[in-house]
Chains A and B, each alone.
Chain A
């Protein structure tokens, strides 16, 4: 089954590359997850006041900060502020997806 499917996909990709690419890249990876941050950090991470602007920040930096906050908040969720609780809500793969999304925004 799998063996049969792969050549099929390769053929389809070769035949109508752009159509397949569109299907696989819409919607952009991490967008809906990252949208959880928009209420405080602004649409696409463009905060208008107070909270940190996330658009265009390096993915490594965002992931590192969230991972650190998550570690600190694990022992005492509320003590590390509201963002500590939010960091607790996501696993490593989700954090990476969110970080990559903001890094791709301007």
Chain B
């Protein structure tokens, strides 16, 4: 952590980025949200107490401690009371946020600032957090099997495993994967990619690829292209960002990202829609695409995605073999009873992103608790997606939609359509930090 921070200060000092950011955003932001190591969750969050008198009892196991799983665990206790016994199983001891992680790539944030522990969920809500690897689910005996041999019995199971990646041809070896990090799960790959960008040769070429939708965080790849371009514009004049998009056009925030590519980063970002990856020769730095070979000094290929492994292991991958079909009134699997799937792993009409996973968790929990009471799920659930995207180191845009249950199709349907900000600005950048602070406190504290 300390080394990371020191490296950062050095990098920022050289690029003279740190000082203008702090000054520009000191207005209206608590000091805890300034600098490369913001404190997103305040020390004292005044948590709402777990009620003791609701008369609901049941055992719920939650697999996966990301945005959806952490929120579900918290709300099972907050809304279900002390009679609901909650076990959260997660293989990592801390969660690393994907949201905001592109800001590590342009030097605005330290990787260490995006780690979130599970202590507050334990302490504030009495959740049993088990660090372990799930090896299987027994839907008949209603048990979750762990690698350690432990079996966790449940009345209801919530599975929130996030995503896994396909292996792009040519990247089968660990060595090739090290040369071409996807950094689409924030962590060591994010730091590795940041370092590759920092050491890109003068006037070099950064090539990134975007898989066909659906993938995690629709605006994320375009945001990444902007922030890499932001860093290169300041630190490596003449360097280029080539964006190979398997989709026919920009998937999310088409106006703001289109303007960013054509105006803000004119001559730096070269956006190529409708180009898919066939294979990558990592050693040679060649990306073989549907439109011919593309050479790059640094290659960042975001692979096609599918639901986290346990979904396939448990036979819940009944949508295209990749995703878990669910009833969006309760998020109960359409393949197995008493098992619910939320977040990126679920096949719904909703975007795969952390903010909406938080609300999916609450809809799911509400339905499970009603079920414990012998009541049917809410017949008219509403969810919302909101996402702030940095466009430069000091400005951001946003994208939002409100979705309501449509009984005719049995799906969540957008009430407003996806609406993007009229343009990026500094105020949105401020709001982005406040949004992230509240979202992480709401999900993990």
Residue positions of A touching B, CB distance < 8 A:
22-23, 26-27, 31-33, 35-36, 38-44, 46-51, 77-79, 82, 85-86, 88-90, 94
A39 touches B359 (CB 8 A): yes
Contacts A32-B381, A40-B386, A42-B438 hold; do A27 and B370 have CB atoms under 8 A apart?
A: yes
Does B127 reach chain A (CB closer than 8 Å)? no
Name the CB-closest residue of A to B32: A49
22 contacts between A and B (CB under 8 A): A22-B55, A23-B375, A26-B373, A27-B370, A32-B378, A36-B382, A39-B355, A39-B359, A40-B438, A40-B439, A42-B438, A43-B441, A48-B437, A48-B438, A48-B441, A49-B437, A50-B431, A78-B420, A78-B422, A85-B402, A85-B416, A89-B402
| Segment from B176-184, B239-247, B288-296, B361-369 that makes contact with A | B361-369
A48-B438, A88-B415 given; 8 more Cβ-contact pairs under 8 Å? A36-B359, A49-B434, A49-B437, A50-B434, A79-B422, A86-B400, A89-B404, A90-B382
CB-CB under 8 A from A89, the residues of chain B are: 382, 384, 401-402, 404, 415-416
Binding site for A on B (CB under 8 A): 28-30, 32-33, 41-42, 45-48, 54-55, 78-79, 355, 358-359, 362-363, 366, 369-370, 373, 375, 378, 381-384, 386, 398, 400-402, 404, 415-417, 419-422, 430-431, 433-435, 437-439, 441-442
A23–B378 Cα distance when bound, in Å, is 14
Chain A residues, Cβ within 8 Å of B45: 48
A24 to chain B, nearest CB (A): 10
A44 CB, nearest partner CB in chain B, Å: 6
Q: Are B384 and A31 in contact (CB under 8 A)?
A: no
Across-interface contacts of A40 in B (CB, < 8 A): 386, 434-435, 438-439
Q: Which residues of chain B are within 8 angstroms of A86 by Cβ–Cβ distance?
A: 384, 386, 400, 402
Q: How far is the CA of A88 from the CA of B417 in the complex (A)?
A: 10
Q: With both chains docked as a complex, state the minimum distance between the C-beta of A15 and any C-beta of chain B, in angstroms.
A: 18
Q: Which 10 A-B pairs have the closest CB atoms?
A: A89-B402, A50-B434, A35-B362, A49-B437, A85-B419, A77-B419, A89-B415, A48-B441, A78-B422, A32-B366
| CB atoms of B54 and A90 under 8 A apart | no
When chains A and B are docked, how far (Å) is the Cα of A88 from the Cα of B47?
A: 30
Complex interface: chain B residues within 8 A of A51 (CB): 434-435, 438
